[in-house]
Amino acid sequence: MAVPKKTSSQSKARYHHGDLRRALIDASLALISEEGFSALTLREVARRAGVTHAAPYRHFADKEALLAAVAEEGFRSMAAQMRERMDRETDPAERLIACGVAYVLFAVQNPSHFRVMFGPHFARPAEHESMSTEGGHGFGLLLQCLTEGQQAGVLRSGDTLLLAMASWSLVHGLASLLVDGVLEPMGNGSLDPEAQAVAQTRLLLDGLRVRPQNG
């Protein structure tokens, strides 16, 4: 018995996303969240998106290219949230707090994005220029905060890049611990992520502040 061919209208009815690239990224994030990275293949992403297994190749050469698109989106969104929260503050010290808190909250609210952004998924990072560019924006905002604080005489002088690396290490470490649920068994569950982020970034700020001269 012959299988009747689908008409163009039937095909269009099955594919209803409109934005194939968006549909594939969303399917990837859902798959990572539900089953982990080991389950991620272009074929499975296509199945979840309701398209043929060849459809992802219209946008992505391979799985790494798809993950790079996910990471690029994450870096862009994270930097936007950092900038939005920083813009609420005028004091350099408070802007630094806002920068760190926004970073942590993005990670907690978008764990799949966060794991892709900082995971060991990219054997060819040089091929993903847009991802690298977006990835530098958040760090640039941190450098901006520290520079403003130094210029205002609020934060200690010194190599701004080294201070930024130390600050990022603390904030990123907290974000990773929260995303992985490591802090819950330690009895710190009474503080929500935002409270955790504020407390830790204020400790960081205490270490960066200019100390009054004795005498």
pLDDT confidence of residue 9:
36
Domain ranges of the chain: 18-60, 74-208
Mean pLDDT by 10 residues, the chain (215 residues): 38 54 95 92 95 93 95 97 97 96 97 95 89 95 96 95 97 95 70 90 93 65
Per the rule left: phi > 0, alpha: psi between -120 and 50, beta: everything else, 50 is left
**CA distances, 84 to each of 88, 114, 141 (Å):** 7, 19, 11
* Residue indicated by tokens 């949230």: 81
* Kind plus residue range of the DSSP H or E element containing 110: none
Count other C-beta atoms under 10 Å from residue 5's C-beta: 8
pLDDT confidence of residue 3:
37
The answer as to CATH 2.60.40.60 being correct for domain 74-208 is: no
Q: What is the pTM of this model?
A: 0.86
Q: Give the separation between CA 109 and CA 95, rounded to whole angstroms.
A: 21
Record: fold of 18-60: Arc Repressor Mutant, subunit A (1.10.10)
pLDDT confidence of residue 124:
85
